[in-house]
Amino acid sequence: MNNRTRVAVERQITAMGADVFEVGLFKPRTPGDPSNEPEMLPRVWDRETLLRSVSWLSYQNAHGRNIYVRPKGEHHLSLVDDLTAGSVQQMKNEGFTPALVVETSPGNFQAWLNHGQVLPKQLSTLAARTLAENFGGDKGAADWRHFGRLAGLTNRKSKHRAGDGRYPFVRLVQATGQSYRAREYFLKQLSAQLTERQHQKPVRRAVDDGKARLTIDDFRSKPAYGGDGNRIDLAYTVYALAHGVSEADIRAAIASRDLSKKGPEHRQLNYIERTIRKACSALGR
């Protein structure tokens, strides 16, 4: 393990400021081998355990796994994914200076913003989506608990593989850990939006091109699936992705049924992520 890797990891998790982290080690499908299913290997570690595990993470990364991290449980951060350098500078100019910026591949950035307080799930998701919309981030990756990449390790996406077989390192750009200047006004606005939504009457299901978009309950009621939850979840996810539903909303839909048979929480989350990846693969994404 390169010592710079450990330094980068330590700086990143220090800036994130969480006590406990969820780490995801994702192995994508091997090109040309349909039998090799994508796999997420989850871990829940405190700061010291994570740091002690950097050598093991480096080994897993070298053998094909992408390494992701997020705080466990409700937290004080929002991740904005798929940003340009210009977008990051715009955030700074407008009072939204990130606590942490990571370059995940050449010219592509993830920013973590520190709200200065732990946000409940609904407010946290709204904050992430609003930030993504305002600064050109990936709205499909905007929810309260999305994974970000861990710095100091490599991005193993095949499209980033160089001619010599090497992959780009995930580079730590800045890691102050500080909260952003505009947070008080921003969170006040978002809280008002949530309050207004809660007082509105329930709306009918979403409409797409003049036709009612199917919900996961529509798939659950279809006799063709025979009540098979796994088949229903995958069929709905393929449909939802094809109709522009965000991954955050898809996760919430899948989780609306009892997943306790999948095991503890991390296994349930692994199942949801695996379902989304299978659907993406089916759509050629």
**Domains in the chain and their CATH numbers?**
3-186 (3.30.70.1790), 207-282 (1.10.1240.50)
Q: What is the pTM of this model?
A: 0.71
Q: And the tokens for 285?
A: 């994404």
In the block, residue with structure tokens 């050598």: 55
Question: When comparing pLDDT for 215 and 118, which is higher?
Answer: 118
Nearest to 220 by CA among 210, 212, 228: 228
Amino acid letter for position 216: I
What is the pLDDT confidence band of residue 175, given thresholds at 50, 70 and 90? very high
Residue 121 in this model has a pLDDT that exceeds 60:
yes
φ, ψ of residue 100 in degrees (nearest 5): -155, 135
Residue 37 makes CB contacts below 8 A (sequence gap 6+) with 29, 274, 278
pLDDT at residue 109, rounded to an integer: 97
State the burial class of residue 98 (Cβ atoms within 10 Å of its Cβ: 0-12, 13-18, 19+): buried
Sheet with 39-46: strands ordered across = 39-46, 20-27, 66-71, 148-149
Nearest to 22 by CA among 275, 264, 234: 264
Q: Mind listing the pLDDT tens digit for each residue in 68-116? A: 999 999 999 999 999 999 999 999 999 999 999 999 999 999 999 999 9
Query: Are 45 and 52 a contacting pair, CB within 8 Å?
Result: no
Residue 197 makes CB contacts below 8 A (sequence gap 6+) with none
pLDDT at residue 143, rounded to an integer: 87
Residue 207 in this model has a pLDDT that exceeds 50:
no
What is the pLDDT confidence band of residue 206, given thresholds at 50, 70 and 90? very low
72-81, 159-168, 171-180: least confident range: 159-168
Q: Mind listing the pLDDT tens digit for each residue in 25-45? A: 988 766 665 556 678 889 999
Nearest to 98 by CA among 86, 80, 118, 119: 80
pLDDT at residue 211, rounded to an integer: 62
- CA angle 7–109–162, rounded 5-degree value: 80
Three-state SS string across 230-259, please?
HHHHHHHHHHHHHCCCCHHHHHHHHCCCCC
As a whole number, the mean pLDDT across the chain is 89
Residue 274 in this model has a pLDDT that exceeds 70:
yes
pLDDT at residue 205, rounded to an integer: 46
Rounded CA gap, 285 and 108, in Å? 18
DSSP conformation class of 284: T
In the block, residue with structure tokens 């499909």: 140
Q: And the tokens for 97?
A: 């200076």
